[in-house]
Amino acid sequence: MPVSHEPDGRLGTFVETSVAGERVRAFVPPPLPPVPPVDLSALVTRLSAAERALGRLDGVSVLLPNKELFLYMYVRKEAVLSSQIEGTQSTLSDLLRFETEAAAGAPLDDIREVSNYVDAMMYGLDRMATLPISLRLIREMHDRLLDSGRGATQNPGEFRSSQNWIGGTRPGNAMFVPPPPNEVMNCLSDWEQFLHSETRDIPPLIKAGLLHVQFETIHPFLDGNGRLGRLLITLFLCAEGVLRQPLLYLSLYLKTHRADYYRLLQEVRERGAWEAWLEFFLDGIAETANQAFETANRIASLLAEDRGRIVSDTDRTGSVLQVHDLMRTRPFLTAAAAVEHSGLTMPTVNAALAQLQALGLVEEITGRKRDRVFAYRAYLDILSDGVAR
Ligand SMILES: Nc1ncnc2c1ncn2[C@@H]1O[C@H](COP(=O)(O)OP(=O)(O)OP(=O)(O)O)[C@@H](O)[C@H]1O
């Protein structure tokens, strides 16, 4: 029988269960919203800072000359950062080179994992047009996330039917034991009900923070709970209309402050410290949105400046601009790919790449005579800010 942990209802209950031959106490969280409700008064200043930063970011995203481009790069950056939280080695450059089929150096499984994250995110964003965020959508996204690479054997797309644990070398010394399998669906139904409930008194940013901590506590999958949970934050903010474009790299903040991230999740369970978690979460949103705003501006200026130089300093400007445009979504480019995607001939592409090289805008990175790969370095540098290159 579940034992009540604390009388105030902000804390969950423990259930004795056995896993891998050991007795453990699995934790069942209280349904959301916590009772009594979170004290929002202490969060007002942080909440408005986060809202302001998001508003600014959303404003710039609307003004960006090429929103698709920014979205394309955003999703990739977030994918790399989120995957790096647990030590996946691949970098943004590895992913981009992998996608342009330009011989990547990192372990293939790692790149696949990041590439799956991109697929899951794009799938979720598209699917949201017809299917609201729901347990079904979450399973579909999970299926893509664990399609191959780390976790591919861990039941992609299926909620778990066995006990898992977090931290420690075995269940007996785990840092945290999530709900037993027979409680998972109950917890998830509560979670989904809260997700869809009209909660006018709970601002969407607070709701996103509550949903995230609760999702991680339920830990409904055998693997990929962190990545999927982080994906859902952005998706939820888009669904709520807080963001028009999913341009928030929250994983950078969570990666930089990983120890605090885990500790605060844990303290919600152990002490009902919901407010401390929400403070951390809101600070992360503000900081990340401010950074994304700066990045958007830096990218817009760089692209405009480089276009200006191409227009004033090159012959056959039209084809050089075309190749430059291509490099906005393919900062690693081969001549063959440029031909394929621009419709220009090979001699024209080679001439354009030579002019871009002469201007110092791109550099050839293989040193080879054939199958050369060109990198748009200044652009990659801005994109890679905060991500291992
Ligand atoms: N003490 C903790 N209590 C609750 N949740 C935690 C705790 N420590 C970590 N987590 C959450 O669990 C996630 C890890 O779970 P899991 O291994 O299933 O996810 P993953 O996506 O495969 O890995 P990762 O998030 O580390 O990349 C962390 O990212 C974090 O969100």
Our CA angle for 244, 246, 250, nearest 5°, is 130
Question: Distance from the CA of 237 to the center of ligand 1, in angstroms?
Answer: 21
Q: Note the ipTM here.
A: 0.96
C-alpha–C-alpha distance, residues 172 and 222, integer Å = 18
| Mean pLDDT of all residues belonging to the chain | 87
Question: Distance from the CA of 150 to the center of ligand 1, in angstroms?
Answer: 14
Question: How confident is the model at residue 6, as a pLDDT?
Answer: 47
What would the DSSP string read from start to end of 327-360? Answer: HHH-SEEEHHHHHHHH---HHHHHHHHHHHHHTT
On whether both 134 and 226 belong to a single domain, the answer is yes
On whether both 285 and 325 belong to a single domain, the answer is no
Whether the model pTM is above 0.95: no
Question: Distance from the CA of 83 to the center of ligand 1, in angstroms?
Answer: 11
**How far does CA 329 lie from the centroid of its chain?**
18
Question: How confident is the model at residue 103, as a pLDDT?
Answer: 47
**Given pLDDT bands bounded at 50, 70 and 90, which one contains residue 93?**
confident
Pocket of ligand 1 (CB under 6 A): 85-86, 151, 166-167, 175-176, 216-217, 223-227, 229, 262, 265-266
Whether 181 and 163 have beta carbons less than 8 Å apart is answered as yes
Q: Provide the domain limits for residue 270.
A: 13-30+52-294
- Three-state secondary structure of 169-226: CCHHHCCECCCCHHHHHHHHHHHHHHHHCCCCCCCHHHHHHHHHHHHHHHCCCCCCHH
The CATH number covering residue 351 comes to 1.10.10.10
On whether both 264 and 340 belong to a single domain, the answer is no
For residue range 102-151, what is the model confidence (pLDDT) as tens digits? 444 555 677 778 888 888 988 998 999 899 999 999 999 999 999 876 66
On whether both 249 and 321 belong to a single domain, the answer is no
On whether both 287 and 375 belong to a single domain, the answer is no
For residue range 6-45, what is the model confidence (pLDDT) as tens digits? 445 678 899 999 888 899 999 999 888 766 678 888 899 9
The catalytic position among 212, 219, 257, 341 is 219
On whether both 147 and 219 belong to a single domain, the answer is yes
**How far does CA 26 lie from the centroid of its chain?**
28
Is 219 an active-site residue?
yes
Kind and range of the H or E run holding 300: helix 274-313
**Given pLDDT bands bounded at 50, 70 and 90, which one contains residue 296?**
confident
Question: How confident is the model at residue 83, as a pLDDT?
Answer: 78
Is the pLDDT reported for residue 229 higher than 90? yes
C-alpha–C-alpha distance, residues 90 and 80, integer Å = 7
Q: Is residue 166 assigned to a domain?
A: yes
* Three-class secondary structure of residue 19 per DSSP: strand
Structure tokens at 55: 């508003």
On whether both 264 and 358 belong to a single domain, the answer is no
Residue to mutate (ligand 1; options 163, 230, 233, 262; most atoms within 8 A of CB): 262
Q: Is residue 35 assigned to a domain?
A: no
On whether both 120 and 177 belong to a single domain, the answer is yes
Q: Is residue 5 assigned to a domain?
A: no
On whether both 236 and 379 belong to a single domain, the answer is no
Distances (CA, A) of 292 to 165, 210, 243, 278, 316: 34, 23, 13, 21, 35
Please give the number of the atom of ligand 1 that sits closest to the Cα of 254. 29
Question: How confident is the model at residue 32, as a pLDDT?
Answer: 87
On whether both 285 and 318 belong to a single domain, the answer is no
On whether both 332 and 276 belong to a single domain, the answer is no
For residue range 315-374, what is the model confidence (pLDDT) as tens digits? 889 999 999 999 988 888 999 999 999 999 999 999 999 999 999 999 998 888 888 999
Number of domains observed in the structure of the chain? 2
> Can you name the residues that pair with 176 across neighbouring β-strands?
166
Find tokens 């590895």 and name the residue.
94
